[in-house]
Structure 1
Amino acid sequence: MATEIRVPTLGESVTEATIAQWFKKPGEAINADEPIVELETDKVTVEVPAPASGTLEEILVKEGDTVEVGALLGQISEGAGSAKPAPAKKSDGAGKAEKPAEPKKAAAAETVDVVVPSAGESVTEAEVGEWMVKAGDAVKADDTLVELETDKAAQEIPAPQAGTVVEVLKNTGDTVQPGDILCRIAVGAGAAAAKPAAPAEAPAAKASSMPPAPSASKMMAESGISGDQVSGSGKRGQVLKEDVIAALAAGTAAKQAEAPAAKAPRAPSAPADGEREERVRMTKLRQTIARRLKDAQNTAAMLTTYNEVDMGPVMELRKQYKDLFEKKHGVKLGFMGFFTKAVCHALKEIPAVNAEIDGTDIIYKNYCHIGVAVGTEKGLVVPVVRDADEMSIAEIEKKIAEFGRKARDGKLGIDEMQGGTFTISNGGVYGSLMSSPILNAPQSGILGMHKIQERPMVVDGQIVARPMMYLALSYDHRIVDGKEAVTFLVRVKESLEDIQRLVLDL
C-alpha cells in the first residue's frame, strides 16, 4: 500500500510553489513527520513532512518544477520491512553490534490564523494600518502585530500565541472585514523551523556552500547576477528565490538614487512645486471624520447661537477646593465636570436639544449620554460619559480623565464612543476665542467652549476685569427652535455663574 505525498495548502493567496530540494532519494527509509521535500512560494519557504513511515518509492516532480496546491509529489511504500534499515556497525569486541542511530523526527509547526475581530454592530470594515512585524519575525504572546483603523478608532491586534510569523496576507491600506485573515503564525515546537535565517549584514554575501535553489538559480541566470551578489537566507545559507528578488530590488533602488545626479538638468531658479510637496494617505478615522462632518452640514438645518459666561465663580471654587478634591478623589478638578453638569440641567429643561430625528419621528432621550470631544494625533474622537445626569462632578472628572488616557494610548473601545445624545467640544485648550462647532450627527446639539480671557465688564455700575468665555451652541433647527436654543444656552450660563445651582441641583 502506498501513501501519497502532495503539496499542502499554503494560504488563501498562494496557489503554486516551486520544488526547492528533495531531502530523500527513492529507496531511502523515511520516518513519519520527517522533512522530505522543501517548497518555495513567493512568500515563504516550507518543508513538507512525510505523512507516514516507510520507503520513498517514487519521486514524480523534480527540483525546479512549479506545482499547484494539491499536486502529487511522490509516493511512500508502507508496511513492515518496507523501509531499508541502515547497515549494522562492526562489533565492539564484546560480541555486541552497535545499533544504528535512529533519525530524529522533525516537529511539525501548528499554524494559527490571526483574523480581524468584530468591532461592534455598526462597524463592518476596517483599514489595515501599520504592520509592526513581517514574515519571519518571532513574536511573543500579546505582542502588537498590526494596527487596524476603523471609522471610529484605531485598534491594535495582538499575537494570540508566541511563535513565528510565516505569512502576511494583508497589506497596509487594504480594506478588511471581520473574520478576514491578516497573517499566520507558526506555534509549537516546530515554529523555529518556519522562521528564515536573518539575512547577512554585509553588502555582498559570501558564497554559500549550498547551491542556490533551482528557482533562484534560474532567476539569477535570467537577471545576470552572480552568487556573491545575493545573501542567502535559506538553510545553511542557501540562496532562495526571495533573496534574488531582494537583491534585484536593492540594485534598482541604488540606480534610482544615482539617476537624479546623473541626469540633473540645469539649475533652475526655484525647485518644482512637486518636489516640495508630501503626499500622505488619509487614515480611515480621518476619512470618516471628513465624511460625517460634511454629511451633518448637508443633512441638518444647522444654526449657531452665542453667549458668554463669567467663569469667575467656577474659578474661585476650583481654586479653593482643588487640592482637597484631588486628595479625596484622586483626580484633578477641571472645568469639564462643571460644564457637563450644567449641560445636563439644561437638557432636562429643554429636551428637544437632547433628541434626534429618525425619518418623520422625533426620539426624545430621557437620559444624558454626554460626548466629550478629545483631540488625538490621529484625529478627533468623542468618548461618551453615560448617564452623566446621575453622576457627581467627581465621577464625571474621573471618567473624562480615563477617556483622555485611553485616547492618547489608542485604547478607546468602539462601545465607548457610541450612543451619545449631546456633545461638548473644548476648543479653548488650543486658544480658540470663538468658533461654530459642527453637529455630531444624529445629535441635535453641540456646545463649544472657548478660551477664558479677561475682558472689561460692567458689574454693579463699575467697569471691572472679569474672566469671560464665549459659548456657542450649534443646533439642528429642524427640531430645535431658536427660543429653545437660546434658553438652553442661558441656562448653562446661569448654572456656571451661580455655582450653587449645580450643588443644590436647581
Structure 2
Amino acid sequence: MTTPEPRVVEALNRALHRLFAERPGLHLLGEDVLDPYGGAFKVTKGLSTAHPDRVLSTPLSEAGIAGVAAGLALAGGEVVLEVMFGDFAALMFDQVLNLISKSVTMYGHVVPMPVVLRCPVGGGRGYGPTHSQSVQKHFLGIPNLALYETTPFHDPHVLLTHALDEGPAVLFEDKVLYTRRMFTGDDLFRVTTTGPSPGWAHVTGPGPADVVLLCPGGVAHRALAAARTLLDQGVHLHLLVPGRLHPLDLDDVLPLLRQPRLVAVAEESTAGGTWGAEVAAQLHERLWHDLSAPVLRLSSKDSIIPSSRHLEDQVLLGEHDIVSGVLGALRSPVRTHVAEKPAAASTGVARPAATITAPKLNNNDETYLVLAWLVQDGDEVEPSTPLVELETSKAVEVVEAGVTGRVRLLVQENTEIGVGAVLAEVVDADAPEPPATTANPTVVAAEPATAPADARTHVLSRAQRGTAAVVTRAHREVPAAFTAVEVVVDVLTDRLRRYSDDSGAQVGLPEAVVKAVAGAHPDFAHLFGTLTGDHVVSLPDAPHVAVTMDVGNGLYTPVVRDCGQRSIADIADDLMDLRMKAYRGEFTAGELTGGTITVSLNLDEGVLLVQPIVMWPQVCMVSVSGPRASIAIEDGVPVRRSVVTLGLAYDHRVVNGRDAAAFLRAVAESLSDPQRLDKLVE
C-alpha cells in the first residue's frame, strides 16, 4: 500500500523539528505556540515539549515580538517568528521596514539577520475581512527582505533553511493549503524543479503547453484543478510555482515561456502592486517579441473579504476564474511573432525594422490559410492593430500587428502558409516607400491536381480536410463499438411545444437531447472522459457537450459548456448562436475545443439510424435521428407513435456494452418518461 504524502501542516511541523535539531541557536517566538495548543494552526505542535527553553510564548504585541526577534538576531541568534494571522503583520510592519531589514546594511558592514516571519495568509475559511487577507504585496521591494511562500511542491525544510540563511525573510503560508497534501505527481501531472534552490516547481501535463501559468504556492491547488478542467476542454496548462517570491529570478524559466500561446499569472491578493504585476512587467520587458499576447493577470476582486462563505467565494480568485480567464484570453486576437532586424544602411531604401511571422495557433495544424488582410499595403499600424485573419482547420483567428510602423504585406490572400512563415515586414513610418512586394519563400504551395484536364473534380475545403484528419485518426486509433435504442417522443414533442409557447424560447429535439445527455453525467462520468493514455481517462467535473453542425460550408462541432446545471432555454440560446457562427464560419478555436462528449444530429426526414465516429480523445458520441412514424401495440391495440433512434458509438477500451445500454436507457427515459420531462424542460 502506497503511503500518502504528508499534509502541508505536517511537512512544516517536521521541518521545524528538523531545524531545531540542526541549529542549537534557533528560537521560536509567537502567541499560543506552546503545547498542548501548538499554535493556531498546529504548526508548532511538539516543539515546546522538545525544546522548552527555545520556544517562547509571547504577549499579544506583534510589534514587540518583532523587536525582540530583531534583538536576538543582532545578538547572534536565529529566530522563527510565528504571526498568528498574516493580517497582523501590519502591526509589525514598522519593525520589519525600519529595523529588521535595514539592520543588514545600515551599520557600515553587512550584519547577518537570520529572522523568518511565518505568516498564515489567505481566505477560504470564512474568517472575515481582518483574518483572511493575502498581504504579500505590501512587503514586496523592501531592500534586504526576502519573501517565500509554501507550496505543495517544495520541501518546507528547504524553504526555511534558505530563508534563515538569506534572511531576514517572510514565509507566507496559505491557510487552506495546510490541510492539503504535498504533491509529487500523479497519472496526469508530474513535477520537476527548475533553477537553483529553492527553484521553480514546473508542473507539466500530458502534452505541450498551450498556456503557462505562474503562481505562488497558495494558488497552486486551484491552478492544478483548473489545469485538469482545461485539459478536459483541450487546453494544456502547465504551472510554474516559485519557492521564493522576491528577489524575483526568472532567468531559468524564460525558455519555458517563449513557446506557449499564452502566459498568465494568478494570485489571491487584490490587483495593484503585486508579485504577479512584477512578473508581468519583467516578462514584457524581456520576452516582448516572443509573447503571442499580453501576459494575463488574474487576481481576487477589489473588495474586502466577506465572512459569509458564499460571498467569500465570489470575491476570492477560484478555479473557475482561472479557467474562464484563460479561455477568454485564448479567444482574444493573437499577437504575431515580431523579429527585429538590423538598422537600415544609408542607401536611401527602407530596410524592414521587423518581420511578422505566423504564430502557432493550435497543436493540430501546421499550416493556415491567409483568409483576409485587415490592412492595406503601406498602412501604418500599432501593436494592437488587427492585421490578418488566419483560417485553421476549424476556426478563424484574428492576428494583431504587434509592432509600430508602416506595414509591407508579403503574402497574398487565399495562400496557405506554414507556422513561422513571414507574413509581413514593418518599417519606420517616416522611411521611404518600400519596393514592390516579393514572393515569400515560406509559403506552402498547394498540391497540384492529378485528375485529367477534362475531369470534373471536387476540391476539399480546409474545414473538410480538418474533418478528414479527425476521422482518419478516429478510425486508426479508436476501437469503436455501437449500440442503438428506439425512443418514443410524442409526449416530449408536445411538452417542448408548450414550453416554447410559454417561454418564448425556441426549444426542440436537439436542445432536449443535449440536456438529457448532460443529465446522465453524474451516473456515467467515464463516458464523458478524455483519453490521456492507453490506460488513463481524465474525468471532467461538468459535461461540455459538442454538437455537430453542417450548414453547407463544412462540418463543425462547437461546444455547449456546463450543460448539466443550465436550463434548456439557455442551451437553446447557445445553440442558436453557434448555428449562426457555423453559417458565417466565425468560430474561434476555443469554441470548438473542450467537448467531453459529442451529439451527432441527423434530423433529415427518412434517416433511420446513423453510426457516428468517436472524436478522439473523447470516448463517446451520441447520434439521434429525426422523428418518424411508427406503429406500436399498446394493450393489444395498434397505436401510431413518433419515434427517434438514439445511438451511441463508444471506445470499447473504456466503455463496455452494458454501460452503453444503461446510458442510452437513462437518456431515453429523460426524453420519454412523463415524470422526468418536467425536470428536463426547466
Which of the residues 373, 395, 406 maps onto 2:570? 395
After superposing the two structures, state which structure 1 stretch, 440-449 or 136-145, moved more. Answer: 136-145
Look up the match of 2:653: 478
Deviation at 1:493, TM superposition (A): 1.2
1:125/1:150 contact within 8 Å kept: no
Which of the residues 321, 336, 343 maps onto 2:517? 343
Which of the residues 119, 125, 135 maps onto 2:361? 119
Which SS does the other structure have where 2:572 is aligned?
Answer: helix
1:128/1:146 contact within 8 Å kept: no
- Cα gap change, 1:477 to 1:398, in 2 (>3 Å): same
Look up the match of 1:435: 610
Which SS does the other structure have where 1:419 is aligned?
Answer: coil
Q: Amino acid of the residue matched to residue 342 of structure 1? A: A
> Superposition pairs for residues 37-48 of structure 1, below 5 Å?
none
- Cα gap change, 1:396 to 1:171, in 2 (>3 Å): closer
2:608/2:626 contact within 8 Å kept: yes
Which is higher, the Rg of structure 1 or of structure 2? 1
- Cα gap change, 1:464 to 1:302, in 2 (>3 Å): same
Q: Amino acid of the residue matched to residue 276 of structure 1? A: A
> Superposition pairs for residues 97-496 of structure 1, below 5 Å?
115-117=357-359, 119-120=361-362, 122-123=363-364, 125-131=366-372, 136=377, 146-157=388-399, 166-169=408-411, 172-177=414-419, 180-184=421-425, 274-278=453-457, 280=459, 282-326=460-504, 331-357=505-531, 358-429=533-604, 432-496=607-671
Q: Deviations over 1:192-216 (max 9, x none)?
A: x5698xxxxxxxxxxxxxxxxxxxx
After superposing the two structures, state which structure 1 stretch, 431-440 or 487-496, moved more. Answer: 431-440
Deviation at 1:72, TM superposition (A): 7.1
Deviation at 1:189, TM superposition (A): 7.1
Q: Which has the higher contact order (CA 8 A, sep 6+)?
A: 1
Q: Deviations over 1:213-251 (max 9, x none)?
A: xxxxxxxxxxxxxxxxxxxxxxxxxxxx99xxxxxxxxx
- Cα gap change, 1:279 to 1:343, in 2 (>3 Å): closer
Look up the match of 2:672: 497
Give, in whole Å, the separation in 2 of the partners of 1:163 and 1:500: 66
- Cα gap change, 1:418 to 1:134, in 2 (>3 Å): closer
Q: Amino acid of the residue matched to residue 128 of structure 1? A: L
- Cα gap change, 1:283 to 1:164, in 2 (>3 Å): farther
Q: Deviations over 1:403-439 (max 9, x none)?
A: 2222222322212222211110101147633210111
1:110/1:188 contact within 8 Å kept: no
Q: Deviations over 1:283-339 (max 9, x none)?
A: 44332321221221222221111111112112101222313322xxxx422222211
Which SS does the other structure have where 2:522 is aligned?
Answer: helix
Give, in whole Å, the separation in 1 of the partners of 2:483 and 2:536: 25
> Superposition pairs for residues 2-151 of structure 1, below 5 Å?
115-117=357-359, 119-120=361-362, 122-123=363-364, 125-131=366-372, 136=377, 146-151=388-393
2:568/2:680 contact within 8 Å kept: no
- Cα gap change, 1:322 to 1:175, in 2 (>3 Å): same
- Cα gap change, 1:395 to 1:71, in 2 (>3 Å): closer
Question: What TM-score do the two structures reach when normalised by structure 1?
Answer: 0.55
- Cα gap change, 1:182 to 1:431, in 2 (>3 Å): farther
Q: Amino acid of the residue matched to residue 470 of structure 2? A: R
- Cα gap change, 1:134 to 1:366, in 2 (>3 Å): closer
2:507/2:572 contact within 8 Å kept: yes
Deviation at 1:171, TM superposition (A): 6.9
Deviation at 1:455, TM superposition (A): 2.1
- Cα gap change, 1:420 to 1:73, in 2 (>3 Å): closer
| Uncovered stretches (5+) of structure 2, i.e. residues with no partner | 1-342, 439-450
Deviation at 1:137, TM superposition (A): 7.4
Give, in whole Å, the separation in 2 of the partners of 1:421 and 1:126: 26
- Cα gap change, 1:499 to 1:369, in 2 (>3 Å): farther
1:451/1:469 contact within 8 Å kept: yes
Q: Deviations over 1:444-477 (max 9, x none)?
A: 1111111211222223332122221111111111
| Uncovered stretches (5+) of structure 1, i.e. residues with no partner | 1-68, 75-105, 197-240, 243-271
Give, in whole Å, the separation in 2 of the partners of 1:70 and 1:189: 13
Give, in whole Å, the separation in 2 of the partners of 1:399 and 1:151: 22
- Cα gap change, 1:385 to 1:136, in 2 (>3 Å): closer
4+ residue runs of structure 1 moved beyond 6 angstroms? 69-72, 108-112, 137-145, 158-164
1:151/1:285 contact within 8 Å kept: yes
Q: Deviations over 1:1-49 (max 9, x none)?
A: xxxxxxxxxxxxxxxxxxxxxxxxxxxxxxxxxxxxxxxxxxxxxxxxx
The percentage of aligned residue pairs carrying the same residue is 26
Give, in whole Å, the separation in 1 of the partners of 2:381 and 2:497: 48
Q: Amino acid of the residue matched to residue 403 of structure 1? A: L
1:128/1:172 contact within 8 Å kept: yes
Give, in whole Å, the separation in 2 of the partners of 1:500 and 1:314: 11
After superposing the two structures, state which structure 1 stretch, 164-173 or 349-358, moved more. Answer: 164-173
- Cα gap change, 1:394 to 1:456, in 2 (>3 Å): same
- Cα gap change, 1:162 to 1:316, in 2 (>3 Å): farther
Deviation at 1:482, TM superposition (A): 0.8
Give, in whole Å, the separation in 1 of the partners of 2:422 and 2:417: 12
Q: Deviations over 1:69-122 (max 9, x none)?
A: 977759xxxxxxxxxxxxxxxxxxxxxxxxxxxxxxx9x9997865434535x3
Deviation at 1:369, TM superposition (A): 1.3
Q: Deviations over 1:234-279 (max 9, x none)?
A: xxxxxxx99xxxxxxxxxxxxxxxxxxxxxxxxxxxxx96313236
Q: Amino acid of the residue matched to residue 181 of structure 1? A: V
- Cα gap change, 1:165 to 1:499, in 2 (>3 Å): farther
Which SS does the other structure have where 2:577 is aligned?
Answer: helix
Which SS does the other structure have where 1:456 is aligned?
Answer: strand
Look up the match of 2:279: none
- Cα gap change, 1:184 to 1:324, in 2 (>3 Å): farther
Q: Amino acid of the residue matched to residue 471 of structure 2? A: L
